[in-house]
Structure 1
């Protein structure tokens, strides 16, 4: 991921179009000055010669990726952060978290209980350190390990890209002078606006490349090999639930009150539908009144 970002930044610096003369001279001079300086002193690195590699007339963008297990992630994190600051670098990311494997509650009395958590701590860090101090940082990190899972150190040679950027700067400077000699019209204004925008973008891209040359990026993943256990004193919630789960007297009283309110609701409901009840009573009365009376035949004595 880091390599892709660096390549895109460099490509933006090299392939962007015409920009103003003043801006071109500024960004190009900064990049050229860094490219021609002695950027890294030779450091004795027992871990890897790539970290402190120095080749005459060559410029490298260096990155590293370390995956290892340590005794205590938190203490190692604090130590690494302090060492990075002492080396003139800085931390851009530190994501320390505990992954819970299991969680159980055990009652110890009617009032107390213990919450037992089993967890594993890890941290993902991203560090920026001066390139000439990369070897020292990796040596310090290596001293903290219990087991090294993997380590990747990359040195990307961008010497030819820097030379090409310098040649492009000269060509763009010449084109900028040619544009300044054009007659003032709508097309010249559009070209000038385009030059300013492209010049700003190229300056930003050159700054990114220069920063990546000056500071190396190190990604570190820390993990504890064993599961830790945390015992946390809590209240016995099961006993509390049992204590207040059911109260007969209170429930009986509540039932009487709710029954009283139910009777009120039924009574009010009957009052509400009194017209329907009245009409029903009238219909029932007349229906009974009109009902024919059956005659029984006389029986012989």
Structure 2
């Protein structure tokens, strides 16, 4: 009897071990099938999971900042702008420019030269897109990258701020009702004006929040990783300067003409001061005459 019990116990343990192994194999098999699908879902959502985040009874203002390198800045800019428009958004800023790293002019002949510029093209953009389609835009932008330097996505919870704004609106409305019950005085007019101004500011703040909830702002900076080179055909300016720097016959002719004009100016100047010359001449005449008389008198004395 005891032997039979031991045999049954061993058989039960073996059966449980086999069942556990089969169960473990089945569980492993289930993970093997579902894991690729799970990873695929993570890869698909990793680009926009934050951008598409939605929480019940919560409202978020979402913004994003993308800094990346692309193959061609101009083509990427055109593509991003078109994608923004297709998604129902709009571009608020786009500053595409070529940053010159160096430039050098090489003379290739007496008349021609080559200007070689090394530069990098970059663009700083700001776009606004419906918040519901922010994830789509980030996915489209990500497709243009060669290298992603950084990407920041912010989701600011403004639920409490919206509730507070509603309470402030009710307070302002109640204040207006209380003011209306007062007697018409100068103080009442001032109080009414201040309350109306506060109401307008609150309405403006509500409009800004509503707009930021509806549209997300995305700042985008793109640049090319490699330096581009532009070769521009120009004129050999050094040779041209040397060619026309000095011409002897032309300079001699100009010197002769300038000398002639100088004589004219001297003559005209003398004519202009003729009274002074006349007075000077008379004074000199009397001086010489006086000197001659003194000389004659001295000779007679001797």
Equivalent in the alignment of 2:107: 107
Counterpart for residue 7 of structure 2: none
The aligned counterpart of 1:213 is 213
Cα displacement (A) at 1:289: 4.0
Q: Cα gap change, 1:264/1:176 in structure 2, threshold over 3 Å: closer, same or farther?
A: closer
Instruction: Please say if residues 115 and 234 of structure 1, whose CA atoms lie closer than 8 Å, have aligned partners that are also in contact.
Output: yes
**Contact 1:118–1:229 (CA under 8 A) maintained in structure 2:** yes
Partner of 1:250: 250
Mapped pair 1:47 → 2:47: yes
Structure 1 CA distance for aligned equivalents of residues 168 and 264 of structure 2 = 94
Whole-Å Cα distance in 2 between the matches of residues 263 and 151 of structure 1?
80
The alignment covers a number of residue pairs equal to: 253
Task: Give TM-score, length-normalised by structure 2.
Answer: 0.76
Show structure 2 runs of 5+ residues with no match.
1-43
Aligned to 1:162: 162
Mapped partners of 1:232, 1:241: distance in 2:
20
Distance in 1 between the 2:149 and 2:64 partners? 14
CA distance in 1, matches of 2:161, 2:242: 75
The corresponding residue for 2:30 is none
Give the equivalent residue in structure 2 for 1:92: 92
Alignment of 1:91-240 (within 5 A): 91-240=91-240
Shift of 1:227: 1.4
- Gap runs ≥5 in structure 1: 1-43, 296-301
Query: 1: CA distance between counterparts of 2:167 and 2:261?
Result: 94
SS in 2 for 1:188: helix
Q: What's the secondary structure of 2:145's corresponding residue?
A: coil
Secondary structure (helix, strand or coil) at the match of 2:53 reads coil
Equivalence for 2:259: 259
C-alpha distance in 2, partners of 1:256/1:229? Answer: 52
In terms of Rg, which structure is larger? Answer: 2
Larger CA deviation: 130-139 vs 178-187: 178-187
Give the CA deviation at 1:221.
0.9
Tell me the TM-score normalized by structure 1: 0.76
CA distance in 2, matches of 1:86, 1:141: 13
Distance 1:270 1:176 in 2: 91
Find the counterpart in structure 2 of residue 63 from structure 1: 63
State the Cα distance separating 1:48 from its structure 2 match: 5.0
> 1:45 touches 1:52 (CA, 8 Å); kept in 2?
no
Q: Which has the higher relative contact order, 1 or 2, with Cα contacts under 8 A spaced 6 or more apart?
A: 1
Moved over 6 A (4+): none
For the Cα contact (< 8 Å) 2:128–2:218, is it kept in 1?
A: yes
